[in-house]
Amino acid sequence: MPKKIISGLAAILALTLFSPLSALAFEINPMSNMPVEGDFVLGPGKIELFLDPGETISRDLNITNRNGKPLKVHIEVEDFTGDPDYSVKLLGSEKGPYSLRDYLKPEVTSFTLAHGEKATLPVTVSIPKTVEPGGLFGSVIVTVEPEAENSVGGVDQTKGNVTIVSRLATLFFVRVRGDAKEDGSLKSFTTDKKFYQKPPVNFSVVYENRGNVHLDPYAEIEIKNIFGKKVDSVEIEPYFVMPGFSRERTAAWQRDLAFGRYTATLTLNRGYGNLADEAKSTFWIVPMKVIIIALSAIFIIALLAWLLTSKFELRRKK
């Protein structure tokens, strides 16, 4: 065989063996001493990728059966978008405004998983060269149902049984590199009340995303007393906000002893370009029980003082 052909075959074999895509493969492995929890576990819940147009990459999903019975597993792909009431909304067969579903490909779409087994499922993300810069959002949906113990032709013959179907999703956030639109800012910062008898004090932070990529804002709330002295701070970890939507994040300040007027100062990082927004909110903590006890004590002391003074004056008159 000519040396050139041998060299070419060796190169193809090396690319096949050591390619990052070919190294990933669907597999099922047993896990030792798996407790029965009556559920299954999917991880990770969120995958963020920065890709160039024309780039392809794979990521593994892990599915573990803790149900106590064999499970039939089905894999589907859906787009998702933001939602005014929840973090995201799965779109089913509907195509999203920033659709990724046509570019997501799980290696397999159905299999059976025994209790205590973990499946490693590669999912390939392939971005066409023609895709414009910005955000693309899709999800891999894992649906499971117990395998029928008494079945004929795949139909459960056990009368009175109800099949429970469970679904979990891994969200894929893909940002196609290029000149994307990053535009978001703080919409509001409030407390749920202005007067509290005692902590916790509940804060609400609403962030609006006006761009075409998802953003991950984060914040710190600094709390000062009436004298301007810092008494505490509350951290808000990074959270995602979908393009075209606003999302609320809540945080609570808990303290054993608190009294008087406080000022909370929010410093929110927008999640891009080191830009930050600042806002303030004031509130009072007035423990009524303490005030009632204090007023009662003052009243009793004043009454005793008046009685003693009256007796002294009566004796002088006599």
Residue 84: is the preceding peptide bond cis (ω within 30°)?
Answer: no
Q: Which two tokens stand for residue 210?
A: 């006006």
**In the predicted structure, residue 317 carries a pLDDT above the cut 90:** no
Residues 90 and 126 in one domain: yes
How many independent structural domains does the chain possess?
A: 2
Residues 170 and 282 in one domain: no
pLDDT of residue 133: 95
- What's the mean pLDDT when you consider all of the chain? 87
Residues 253 and 285 in one domain: yes
Residues 172 and 45 in one domain: yes
- What are the tens digits of pLDDT across the range 223-276? 999 999 999 999 999 999 999 999 999 999 999 888 899 999 999 999 998 999
> Domain for residue 14, yes or no?
no
| DSSP secondary structure letter of residue 99 | B
Residue type, 42: L
| DSSP secondary structure letter of residue 133 | S
> Domain for residue 131, yes or no?
yes
Q: Which two tokens stand for residue 286?
A: 């007035």
Domain residues for the domain of 226 are 184-289
CATH number at residue 43: 2.60.40.10
Residues 168 and 71 in one domain: yes
> Domain for residue 310, yes or no?
no
Residues 140 and 207 in one domain: no
Cα–Cα distance for residue pair 106/84, rounded to 1 Å: 30
> Domain for residue 156, yes or no?
no
- What are the tens digits of pLDDT across the range 148-201? 665 444 444 444 455 577 999 999 999 999 999 999 999 999 999 999 999 999
Residues 213 and 269 in one domain: yes
Residues 142 and 274 in one domain: no
> Domain for residue 266, yes or no?
yes
Residues 257 and 198 in one domain: yes
pLDDT of residue 279: 98
Residues 168 and 116 in one domain: yes
Residues 171 and 214 in one domain: no
Cα–Cα distance for residue pair 143/133, rounded to 1 Å: 32
- What are the tens digits of pLDDT across the range 78-109? 999 999 888 899 999 999 999 999 999 999 99
Residues 93 and 130 in one domain: yes
Tell whether pTM > 0.95. no
